[in-house]
Structure 1
């Protein structure tokens, strides 16, 4: 069956590699933040807004690809040097300096909405400073977040990188040169990781090598990086087209393909033999402490991993019981294991062709959209489209994902559905998947966040996985109230997806804190769900690559449901579900504690 992927955009995946700007020398200053001179009449509110606005601009200069994704095109020609010591120093000083400056402001003098913003800003700076105490830069890519694939997507003409003018094309050439340098720097960092025993598991390296090999074509015109040439606007002159074609062909043939070959050979001939045999983070130096930090970061809580593991076990047991009730309701004669096998194999539960699957989601889009006004006051202006995952990444991509719309409204959001293995995309899983990835899940939350006005920019573009994935999982729950799960098979699909998120609590903590092997994790998921084995393997290897991220879904959903129950109990007849959704969606993505504070203040105001 399908498995929903993280809602992190490609910009975040690239930001993880630390795309920086060497020219930004002012970021090395550690004393004070240079903001416009404050007059005696300037309020704390004005000082705060100036401060966080200055931070956001400095951050974009340090992270040029992130800037492209948020619609700032000043740095479209830069890739960044995000693995260098210089970059790491700049990033540290940026966070340290702004944390010190914001703490000088009197939080109590801010209005309520900016007190929440203040809490988010200080939270972010503290987490960033804690994160840099761990050697993330020794593992700059994995099979799930591949900078190579992300660059292919940027160059596709369907992502954030613009290709409208000759200057746009020149910018992309320069950014590709920066990427080529990054590949060399990545090998240096991975060599340091080998010396420090901070390396990827061997099985993940085995996955990376064919991803890189797939890019190594003999004819530059067959390279996916040649795509912009096939998209040149008709307004370009014949001379401009000829010049750009020659330049791109030469760049790909003489520099890019040799760089990619060198990176592939490095993984194949050097890194693979030094990769670790352990599957979890516990096998790294200080690995259990590092994993607890990652669990805290992704869930935006301080929950011990043992507690998270126990919650997962309890949720798995509860959902299994609900699944068995569905089995009885539909009159299936075998046991639950037999029911799983039936739903995972019988032809009536699957589409025969790829387009039929995509068309089915378009029908669902209209059905769900008709219900949304009953539950929401605020809805996104941007629309979304349903597209199949591109062929070049479909074999390694998750079952589904979402990419946010362009900030300027020029491109809709995209709900990607992986049509590679139709047996992993059962019809009974479609309603819950659409609710999660599109509306009112990721598309609603992320598009609304980008469209906010009157809030600091860092709030419009920041993200917390527990909030964003917790909301998407809550959106699946909301489908029950919308009447979208009256078909017991579709309701089983909802339970199956919820089971995935519950199993993640068990498996992720098992792998990284309790010494589970990859095989143990795969077997646990096979025993407790109807998922296709290929999906289970991809899921487990994803958890191996990005520990802690998978914990955020269920933890976030449980917190939102808890706050809703608290509000319903406190307000009784005064409780307004649309107004509650307004509180959750109209301040951007929030850490769990900040979200709880906001809802509690709203409850008090309604009383």
Structure 2
């Protein structure tokens, strides 16, 4: 023991002796036990339900890593579960039932209006998902419109939601893409079960899938879309990382991805295609009528029957034809409506000379539309958007335009995809209308803004109600003259033509899936009643075959928003402010049409200084 430690020991011994003697003479007063720490206050009902919504969202992202990637959450970018498997479907159903029970157990009485609305929306979504599990959509995992092989190729190309900025990003895709063969093998197994059960795709759709797959299958890895991230390696990567990633991507593409794509293509071409069906409607499948009724109800968020929707479509087609005849009269065109359609479809003045000219035209619309929109909107998104052509491997079957939302973190802008395939069919008179629908004030305004409504739970910010979303897109088209476009009668006719197209969808989608129409009947009806080219009519008809009921959302949603605007204008008179109406429609994100109706009713009452129910 060192001298210093010895002195300390002796001092401690002496103090102990003194304290012991003192204690022998003085009673010891016991020290009271420490007070227990105060329990944290119980969460308020609002805090509790907010945590519930957050837990639901987080568990959902773990279950669906691809969804996480698309919303800009990078935590699961290396994962790709076999979501086509029976095990996954059971897990998903268990998830929906568990959360349905938890959400239903919440007492809405002490909650605010926004939380009650969130409960209502989430319960509806969960009920729909649980009911939908009875239908065998999993037996038809691939079609020409929503194609898993195409989706994965987009992700792997670096032009979509999967990020390729850091070395970790590149390694994430190596891990995720390594699971693609498992998914493709499951897709083949599911299609085999579909063949046995009589649940197969129409042949005409799968005929279009084969060239899509062939476009992705090339001889050398370096020539594939999957190699583009290596061609665009960030300059700051080290030489070691660049060499390793280039080597690993060549191995991944050559030994894993291309064989998987070839195997899928060969199965579809050699085995599945001969067993596909000649029929084209959903009603031709087992339990198909109930399946279509379910899709109609969930897509439109209404209780309208296919027959009622068919009648609405016929009435709208007749009304819009009347508006078109007024434009024809204004232009002093000598001929009837069908002859005018032919004129619009064939006259060279309405064609773009090149893809570059088409893209420049769309980019040139931005300034005018942004300035005009400022007169109608005060609630605007912060995120920007880009205009890109649809990729060549999928443009033959893609729609004329589409929109991809920006990422949550702002690292990826929104994208307005313009289809430049078969360029003569992409008309100048169609451009203003398409821009308003897909970009501003249509999908970019609504979807980008919805993501920025941070006070809403994430399942609403990143979720969607098709009738609202597409209804808003079509309603945005109707604002053209108020914004300052459609000044040329041909451009205004283009708007009417696209409104007509959405009305025609009500007729032909229900015709296909509920009334036994053939593909030829659908195409003939579209060509006889609109100015669309045969290329567009074929693409659209086959789209309706691939995704039954989805096309109904546009017109029914637009009709509801227009109805609510007219109701508000009549009720408020000079008090009506279009900017405040648009704010009210947009400020809660996409909601079912019945909820939107109730919401606008409350807003009208508030503008009039009334209490609800007055």
* Separation in 1, partners of 2:157, 2:264: 22
* Corresponding residue of 2:260: 259
* Separation in 1, partners of 2:573, 2:120: 29
Residue deviations 1:188-212 (CA, integer Å, cap 9, x gap): 1111111111110011111111111
* Separation in 2, partners of 1:218, 1:425: 33
Q: Give runs of aligned pairs for residues 64-79 of structure 1, distance below 5 A.
A: 64-79=65-80
Residue 235 to residue 285, structure 1, CA distance change in 2 (3 Å): same
Residue deviations 1:488-507 (CA, integer Å, cap 9, x gap): 11110000000110000000
* Corresponding residue of 2:287: 286
Matched, 1:89 2:118: no
Which structure has the higher relative contact order (CA within 8 Å, separation 6+)?
Answer: 1
Structure 1 residue 158, shift from structure 2 partner: 2.5
* Separation in 1, partners of 2:386, 2:68: 24
* Separation in 2, partners of 1:204, 1:455: 39
Residue deviations 1:239-279 (CA, integer Å, cap 9, x gap): 21111111111111111111111100110011111111111
* Corresponding residue of 1:313: 314
* Separation in 1, partners of 2:374, 2:215: 45
Matched, 1:98 2:99: yes
Structure 1 residue 219, shift from structure 2 partner: 0.9
SS in 1 for 2:109: helix
* Separation in 2, partners of 1:543, 1:501: 12
Residue deviations 1:375-433 (CA, integer Å, cap 9, x gap): 11111111112222222222222211111122211222111111122222111111111
* Corresponding residue of 1:602: 603
* Corresponding residue of 2:571: 570
SS in 2 for 1:571: helix
* Separation in 2, partners of 1:554, 1:419: 25
Q: Give runs of aligned pairs for residues 51-200 of structure 1, distance below 5 A.
A: 51-200=52-201
Structure 1 residue 369, shift from structure 2 partner: 0.6
After TM superposition, the structure 1 stretch with the greater mean CA deviation from structure 2, 538-547 or 226-235, is 226-235
* Corresponding residue of 1:465: 466
* Separation in 2, partners of 1:602, 1:115: 17
* Separation in 2, partners of 1:44, 1:605: 26
* Separation in 2, partners of 1:133, 1:596: 30
After TM superposition, the structure 1 stretch with the greater mean CA deviation from structure 2, 66-75 or 545-554, is 66-75
* Corresponding residue of 2:444: 443
* Corresponding residue of 1:208: 209
* Separation in 2, partners of 1:385, 1:119: 35
TM-score by length of 1: 0.92
* Separation in 2, partners of 1:289, 1:204: 22
Q: Give runs of aligned pairs for residues 493-532 of structure 1, distance below 5 A.
A: 493-532=494-533
* Corresponding residue of 2:350: 349
Q: Is the 8 A contact 1:120 1:590 kept in 2?
A: yes
Structure 1 residue 478, shift from structure 2 partner: 1.3
* Separation in 2, partners of 1:182, 1:282: 28
* Separation in 2, partners of 1:535, 1:592: 29
Give the number of aligned pairs: 570
Misfit runs of 4+, over 6 Å: none
* Separation in 2, partners of 1:200, 1:248: 34
SS in 1 for 2:74: coil
Q: Is the 8 A contact 1:423 1:532 kept in 2?
A: no
TM-score by length of 2: 0.91
Q: Is the 8 A contact 1:64 1:79 kept in 2?
A: yes
Q: Is the 8 A contact 2:369 2:484 kept in 1?
A: no
SS in 1 for 2:199: coil
* Corresponding residue of 1:218: 219
Higher Rg: 2
* Corresponding residue of 1:387: 388
Q: Is the 8 A contact 2:282 2:513 kept in 1?
A: yes
* Separation in 2, partners of 1:351, 1:203: 30
* Corresponding residue of 2:365: 364
* Corresponding residue of 1:428: 429
* Separation in 1, partners of 2:216, 2:106: 51
* Separation in 1, partners of 2:461, 2:467: 16
Structure 1 residue 40, shift from structure 2 partner: 6.8
SS in 2 for 1:107: coil
SS in 2 for 1:371: helix
* Separation in 2, partners of 1:93, 1:571: 48
Q: Is the 8 A contact 1:281 1:547 kept in 2?
A: yes
Structure 1 residue 39, shift from structure 2 partner: 7.0
SS in 1 for 2:216: coil
Q: Is the 8 A contact 2:437 2:477 kept in 1?
A: yes
Q: Is the 8 A contact 1:194 1:274 kept in 2?
A: yes
Q: Is the 8 A contact 1:399 1:424 kept in 2?
A: no
* Separation in 2, partners of 1:582, 1:113: 16
RMSD of aligned Cα (Å): 1.3
* Separation in 2, partners of 1:100, 1:601: 30
Q: Is the 8 A contact 1:376 1:578 kept in 2?
A: yes
SS in 2 for 1:385: strand
Q: Is the 8 A contact 1:344 1:531 kept in 2?
A: yes
Structure 1 residue 114, shift from structure 2 partner: 1.5
Matched, 1:338 2:339: yes
Q: Is the 8 A contact 1:526 1:533 kept in 2?
A: yes
Q: Is the 8 A contact 2:201 2:277 kept in 1?
A: yes
Q: Structure 1: which 5+ residue stretches go unaligned?
A: 1-37
